Structure 1
Amino acid sequence: MLNRRHIRVKVMQSIYAMHQNDSDNMEKEEKFLFNSIEIIRDLYLIMVSALVEIRNSEEDFIEKSQKKHLATAEERNPNKKFVNNQVLQLLNDSNALSIALEDRKIDNWKRNDDYVLLLLDDIKASDVYQKYMHNKENNWEEDRQFVHDLFTEVVAPNDKLYEYLEDHKLTWIDDIPLVNTFIAKQLKSLSVEGKDAFYVPKLYKDADDKEFVRNLFRKTVLNEVELAKEFIDKTPNWDTERIAEIDSIILKMAICEFLKFPSIPVKVTINEYLEIAKEYSTPKSSIFINGILDNLIKDYQTGNKLVKTGRGLM
């Protein structure tokens, strides 16, 4: 589920937090970094389980309405297309999801069912729902498209849900778009084969990615003074205090990758950190950072200081 750019962002944020807290306890900060990444899995489970709980809440409402003493004809014979949605039932019946929720002790919607009811009200008021419920027939393609659209247009953008997630874990603010995008793609690609079509993703693509977190964090933190010296001479019109804190960290991380990660292509490093700068720093930061990194690369190549292994890594 995690990509390398998001890993870089989490490392950058951890180093920034160290600076703000004036902390030199690398072991403690590294533990916090890995924990902040690990709970991204919880965010994923909370978002997916919201769909399950919304469906179950509506099913419970229908059953109670049918048992009313003076139930209307519509209540006695309701349109069950929503609760019979094949994708929602697939999620509800998923062993993989149930095991993961139990393992991570995710029961947020059991303890906060008011949010489920709030989401259900918004869903029923949406054009996506009204269009879908126009008839009572279920078919896989329509069910899948509906759940995808429901998630992307109603559930994921819900302000109250966002506020709840932000209050629950502050570190999730930057993780929410990543998780929601992954879930949307997963819903879009579900096939009709059945229960095995849904899976709970691994947090890291492979062991190398997890090791990349550790190495990038440690090598940047342990070499901050030396890494800063690499670019200070390239900014004669700027003293250290005038360079934005985030820009300084981004430069150190990029230079660290240039010099201490021989398997990562130079162009990949530059592109990744320029995108991060555009999102997390000042409007002109990416231009400033790009200029420094370009000059550094030229110097490193001239002095044979840049050692990259493999083809096409320059």
Structure 2
Amino acid sequence: MLTRRQIRVKVMQCIYALTLSQDESLDKQKIFLKESISNTYSLYLLVLSLLIELYKMERNFLKLSSKKYITTKADSTSVDPQRFVKNQVLAQLANNEVLLDTLENKKLTNWDLHQDYIKIVFKAIKKSDIYTEYMGLEEVNYEKDKDFIAHLFKEIIAPNEKIYEYFEDDKLTWVDDIPLVNTFILKSIRKVKPDSPASYFLPDLLKDSDDIIFAEQLLVKTLLNNKAFEEEIQLKTPNWDKDRIADIDAILLKMAICELLHFPSIPERVTINEYLEIAKEYSTPKSSIFINGILDKMVREYRQSGKLKKIGRGLL
């Protein structure tokens, strides 16, 4: 689920948090990094469980309606008033025992205490043309059920501001994870099949153990060499006052220098491109140009001096 770029962002966040707090405890930052990575998976599970909660809310609504003999406007225009709870993709989620056990084991019961957020999304769905059109279809099948949930997630659930505000208030690091998680869930919905195993919706957070090793080493080596990297940057920016360089730019430069010098298996062009893309998203509009200029100079000098030692395939 997490790419190397997203791992780099989490390392950047750790170093930035350390800069603000002036807490030089390396152990605390390593714990913070691991928690930040782990919390991404918790966010993924919570967003996924939101779909289950919507399913349960509609099911309860139908039970109450049948007892009270209430016919709503939506019911009157529906071929089958129970179509939402019969949706095969929603049923796959709601009846996925492995997923439900994981939510319980991780104590991800947030929605039990915040049903008001589920109601907000539920009402938005009921008012939407997407819902009305789906409920009015003469016939549905698995593909139509899947298209409906994907469309609903993309247009109604993922962009909901109240849900965004809830996640932002709960954990600050989730702000950067929300687009990643929403995109991943949307892709998963679009690719799910009737016979997908229960584990389909429980992907690995990291590709392999090398990713967490990379994250920790990048954090540790950048922090341990902070002073040396700072001096390196100052030599390349003689006309710039240290305070004029944005904090994020300085952190990204240090991390990039660390990769160039201490991660021989990562091609230099990969390193430069990754940090330029991160700068475009997290720093000032001109940051990527500034960072690119400095890294370009450094790479040329490192090559000439023999400091740049890269190994493996795909190197420049």
5+ unaligned residues in a row in structure 1: which ranges? none
Q: Which residue of 1 aligns with 2:216?
A: 214
Measured against aligned partners, the alpha-carbon deviations of 1:13-63 in whole angstroms (never above 9, x if no partner) come to: 110111111111111121112111111111011100000110110011001
Separation of aligned partners in 2, 1:102 and 1:61: 24
Residue 237 of structure 1 deviates from its aligned partner by: 0.9
Write the mapping of 1:203-242 to structure 2, written as runs, cut at 5 A.
203-242=205-244
Write the mapping of 1:256-295 to structure 2, written as runs, cut at 5 A.
256-295=258-297
- TM-score with structure 2 setting the length: 0.95
- Partner-residue secondary structure (3-state), 1:220: helix
Separation of aligned partners in 1, 2:67 and 2:239: 77
Residue 205 of structure 1 deviates from its aligned partner by: 1.0
Moved more, 191-200 or 220-229: 191-200
Q: Report the residue type matching 1:120 in the other structure.
A: F
Q: Which residue of 2 aligns with 1:52?
A: 52
Measured against aligned partners, the alpha-carbon deviations of 1:89-116 in whole angstroms (never above 9, x if no partner) come to: 0001112211210121011111111111
> Do 1:265 and 1:312's aligned partners in 2 also have CA atoms closer than 8 Å?
yes
Q: Which residue of 2 aligns with 1:65?
A: 65
Residue 199 of structure 1 deviates from its aligned partner by: 2.7
Measured against aligned partners, the alpha-carbon deviations of 1:182-235 in whole angstroms (never above 9, x if no partner) come to: 101111110121554733111111000011110000000000011122221111
The match for 1:147 among 141, 146, 149 is 149
The match for 1:115 among 111, 114, 117 is 117
Q: Report the residue type matching 2:203 in the other structure.
A: P
- Partner-residue secondary structure (3-state), 1:297: helix
Q: Which residue of 1 aligns with 2:158?
A: 156
The match for 1:95 among 66, 77, 97 is 97
Moved more, 12-21 or 133-142: 133-142
- Partner-residue secondary structure (3-state), 2:86: coil
Separation of aligned partners in 1, 2:285 and 2:70: 60
What number of residue pairs does the alignment pair up?
Answer: 312
**Per the alignment, do residues 104 and 196 of structure 1 end up closer, same or farther by CA in structure 2, a change over 3 Å counting?**
closer
Separation of aligned partners in 2, 1:3 and 1:297: 24
- Partner-residue secondary structure (3-state), 1:308: coil
**Per the alignment, do residues 20 and 72 of structure 1 end up closer, same or farther by CA in structure 2, a change over 3 Å counting?**
closer
Q: Which residue of 1 aligns with 2:183?
A: 181
Measured against aligned partners, the alpha-carbon deviations of 1:258-314 in whole angstroms (never above 9, x if no partner) come to: 000001111110011001111111111110000000011111111121101112222
> Do 1:274 and 1:286's aligned partners in 2 also have CA atoms closer than 8 Å?
yes
- Partner-residue secondary structure (3-state), 2:137: coil
5+ unaligned residues in a row in structure 2: which ranges? none
Percent of aligned pairs sharing the same letter: 51
> Do 2:46 and 2:108's aligned partners in 1 also have CA atoms closer than 8 Å?
yes
Residue 130 of structure 1 deviates from its aligned partner by: 1.3
Residue 248 of structure 1 deviates from its aligned partner by: 0.7
Separation of aligned partners in 2, 1:116 and 1:215: 40
Q: Which residue of 1 aligns with 2:193?
A: 191
**2:10 equivalent to 1:18:** no
- TM-score with structure 1 setting the length: 0.96
> Do 2:168 and 2:174's aligned partners in 1 also have CA atoms closer than 8 Å?
yes
> Do 2:80 and 2:135's aligned partners in 1 also have CA atoms closer than 8 Å?
no
Separation of aligned partners in 1, 2:195 and 2:32: 40
**Per the alignment, do residues 257 and 96 of structure 1 end up closer, same or farther by CA in structure 2, a change over 3 Å counting?**
same
Separation of aligned partners in 1, 2:243 and 2:278: 21
Q: Report the residue type matching 1:45 in the other structure.
A: L
**Per the alignment, do residues 39 and 197 of structure 1 end up closer, same or farther by CA in structure 2, a change over 3 Å counting?**
closer
Q: Which residue of 1 aligns with 2:301?
A: 299
RMSD: 1.6
Separation of aligned partners in 1, 2:2 and 2:279: 19
**2:311 equivalent to 1:309:** yes
Residue 72 of structure 1 deviates from its aligned partner by: 4.3
Moved more, 239-248 or 257-266: 239-248
